[in-house]
């Protein structure tokens, strides 16, 4: 439900916590979680970053992994005069983290209170350790993110992300509790139960993987319930790439405002960058994460506004700060200040990962390009799958597309035309002609976690 009520009134029509009951609630005047930080002027921010970077380097110099690197760069102990000096430190890669993670600790393992691990599909998982203070700092950043998007202590927050080694569940859980919202640790999956929880407790805000949000609509349809009739008003969607059309679909179907949320386990988890009510890019919490955008080939900084690989340095992590960590995520900075008044720069959507890029018939393709085309077509349902094979030494791109139930008719001519339209739209975006198969709604494999959109079976 959107915040309403008479203009200028100290109240708004909101949903109180008792099972969706609607009544007048005091209007929250505060716009910022922490105004003094969120509206820092660029010069002040740089000063804060420099001070925090000095602390971080002093801590990192105690880790067996970073100590020699900092010494070699002339940065241990002390020696940092400007943020640019950090450029003397080599990048940290995922492979190094995987192989030498424990050597990156700045304190004994006994000081660590939690670990999370990324869901690496190949090889050993990458593990991140947190001290008690790290957990508190992270929770505060996630609370700040949700507060920025409009969540308030009177909200009922249903967290539909996996709890466990994945940071999405516990990261938001601690953030929501820190904010003061009533938190339902629903976890991922079990669609019928998710809907039941929403009804029973009058959830007003949800955290959900975007592809699962679309999938859940099928269960709503089966139950005969329209999600727009529920008191939901906010959705936090992230953890996987999604297009603007996908966001709009979620917003329209659920009657919510949906906010993009970015993070990665290596940088604590969610709460690295988040959208404000302007929904035009994600503010990076630059008081905690120093961001460089580099050309993934040359590793030189890209000109402002250009697409490049995101490289982060922790500024507030105690137990395991990472310096110049190469994320493999590709994005760019949005130009100009944001109308919300926050000074932190905004990131574009994540366009893909350097290791996600497909080369099909010699052409570079990011899976998000396929999604952009498909989600813009109302006939296309919630799931699609790209399969790559090789026939007679040639790459073949096969795109399986679920069709919305109302469009899946036994009219062959209509379906053939639809197939042709989809093929042409994909060809014009990708510059490769795929084979498109239309399939019935709810027939493609789906995941309760991040969607698997590509199966590459090429030798
Ligand atoms: O996905 C953290 C997270 C949880 C973020 C919940 C947001 C919400 P990992 O499992 O380590 O951590 O995966 C991190 O997921 O490097 C990106 O490639 C991708 N990713 C995360 N958020 C977004 C997003 C969590 N909003 C990896 N858009 C990152 C696109 C995203 N990709």
Distance between Cα 450 and ligand 1 center (Å): 9
Prediction pTM value: 0.91
Check residue 189 and give its pLDDT.
92
Q: Which of 264, 263, 213, 207 is nearest to 236 (CA)?
A: 207
Closest ligand 1 atom number to CA of residue 241 = 30
Given a cut of 70, is residue 120 above it in pLDDT? no
Check residue 1 and give its pLDDT.
35
Distance between Cα 124 and ligand 1 center (Å): 18
Closest ligand 1 atom number to CA of residue 126 = 11
Smallest CA separation from ligand 1 atom 7, residue: 239
Mean pLDDT calculated for residue range 43-59: 97
Q: 210-234: per-residue pLDDT in tens?
A: 999 999 999 999 999 999 999 999 9
Smallest CA separation from ligand 1 atom 6, residue: 168
Check residue 340 and give its pLDDT.
96
Q: Which of 300, 366, 363, 291 is nearest to 327 (CA)?
A: 291
Predicted confidence band of residue 166 (pLDDT cuts 50, 70, 90): very high
Q: 386-401: per-residue pLDDT in tens?
A: 999 999 889 999 999 9
Check residue 21 and give its pLDDT.
58
CA-to-CA distance for 85 and 66, rounded, in angstroms? 15
Widest distance between CA atoms in the chain = 73
Check residue 446 and give its pLDDT.
84
Q: 417-457: per-residue pLDDT in tens?
A: 999 999 999 999 999 999 999 999 889 988 888 998 999 99
The whole-chain average pLDDT of the chain stands at: 92
With beta carbons less than 8 A apart as the criterion, state whether 49 and 286 touch. Answer: yes
Distance between Cα 241 and ligand 1 center (Å): 8
Given a cut of 90, is residue 35 above it in pLDDT? yes
Q: Which two tokens stand for residue 383?
A: 């799931």
Pocket of ligand 1 (CB under 6 A): 118-119, 161, 166-168, 238-241, 260-265, 269-270, 327, 329, 350, 353
Any idea which of 121-130, 250-259, 297-306 has the lowest mean pLDDT?
A: 121-130
Smallest CA separation from ligand 1 atom 9, residue: 264
Q: 62-92: per-residue pLDDT in tens?
A: 999 999 999 999 997 788 999 999 999 999 9
Given a cut of 70, is residue 24 above it in pLDDT? no
Mean pLDDT calculated for residue range 259-281: 98
With beta carbons less than 8 A apart as the criterion, state whether 156 and 196 touch. Answer: no
- Nearest 5°: the CA angle 255, 159, 319 is 135
Given a cut of 60, is residue 14 above it in pLDDT? no
Given a cut of 90, is residue 9 above it in pLDDT? no
Closest ligand 1 atom number to CA of residue 356 = 18
Check residue 125 and give its pLDDT.
84
Closest ligand 1 atom number to CA of residue 119 = 10
Check residue 122 and give its pLDDT.
57
Predicted confidence band of residue 208 (pLDDT cuts 50, 70, 90): very high
Distance between Cα 238 and ligand 1 center (Å): 6
Check residue 409 and give its pLDDT.
82
Mean pLDDT calculated for residue range 127-143: 98
Closest ligand 1 atom number to CA of residue 328 = 16
Predicted confidence band of residue 382 (pLDDT cuts 50, 70, 90): confident
Helix axes 412-430, 367-375, angle to 10 degrees: 140
């Amino acid at each position: 439900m959107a915040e309403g009520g008479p203009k200028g009134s100290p109240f708004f029509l909101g949903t109180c916590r008792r099972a969706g009951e609607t009544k007048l609630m005091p209007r929250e005047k505060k716009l910022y979680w922490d105004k003094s930080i969120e509206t820092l002027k660029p010069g002040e921010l740089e000063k804060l970053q420099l001070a925090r970077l000095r602390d971080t380097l002093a801590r990192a110099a105690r880790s067996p992994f970073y100590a020699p690197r900092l010494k070699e760069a002339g940065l241990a102990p002390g020696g940092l005069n400007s943020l640019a000096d950090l450029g003397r430190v080599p990048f940290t890669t995922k492979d190094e983290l995987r192989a030498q993670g424990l050597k990156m600790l700045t304190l004994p393992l006994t000081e660590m209170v939690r670990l999370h691990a990324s869901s690496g599909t190949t090889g050993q998982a990458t593990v991140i350790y947190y001290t008690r203070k790290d957990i508190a700092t992270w929770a505060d950043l996630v609370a700040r993110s949700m507060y920025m998007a409009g969540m308030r202590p009177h909200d009922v927050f249903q967290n539909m992300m996996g709890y466990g080694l994945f940071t999405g569940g516990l990261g938001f859980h601690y953030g929501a509790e820190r904010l003061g919202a009533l938190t339902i640790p629903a976890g991922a999956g079990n669609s019928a139960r998710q809907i039941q929880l929403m009804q029973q407790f009058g959830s007003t805000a949800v955290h959900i993987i975007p592809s699962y949000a679309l999938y859940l609509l099928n269960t709503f349809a089966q139950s005969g319930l329209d999600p727009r009739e529920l008191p939901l008003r906010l959705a936090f969607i992230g953890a996987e790439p999604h297009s603007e059309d996908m966001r709009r679909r979620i917003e329209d179907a659920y009657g919510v405002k949906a906010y993009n949320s970015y993070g990665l386990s290596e940088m604590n988890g969610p709460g690295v960058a988040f959208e404000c009510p302007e929904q035009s890019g994600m503010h990076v919490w630059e008081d905690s994460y120093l961001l460089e955008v580099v050309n993934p080939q040359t590793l030189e900084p890209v000109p402002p506004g250009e697409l490049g690989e995101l490289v982060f340095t922790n500024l507030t992590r105690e137990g395991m700060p990472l310096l110049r960590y190469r994320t493999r995520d590709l994005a760019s900075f949005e130009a100009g200040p944001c109308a919300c008044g926050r000074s932190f720069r905004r990131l574009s959507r994540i366009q893909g990962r350097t290791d996600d890029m497909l080369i099909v018939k010699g052409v570079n393709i990011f899976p998000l390009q396929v999604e952009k085309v498909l989600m813009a077509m109302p006939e296309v349902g919630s799931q699609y799958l790209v399969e790559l094979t090789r026939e007679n030494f040639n790459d073949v791109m096969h795109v399986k597309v679920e069709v919305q139930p109302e469009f899946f008719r036994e009219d062959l001519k209509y379906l053939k035309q639809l197939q042709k339209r989809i093929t042409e739209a994909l060809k014009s975006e990708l510059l490769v002609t795929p084979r498109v198969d239309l399939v019935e709604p709810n027939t493609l494999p789906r995941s309760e976690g991040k969607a698997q959109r590509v199966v590459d079976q090429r030798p």
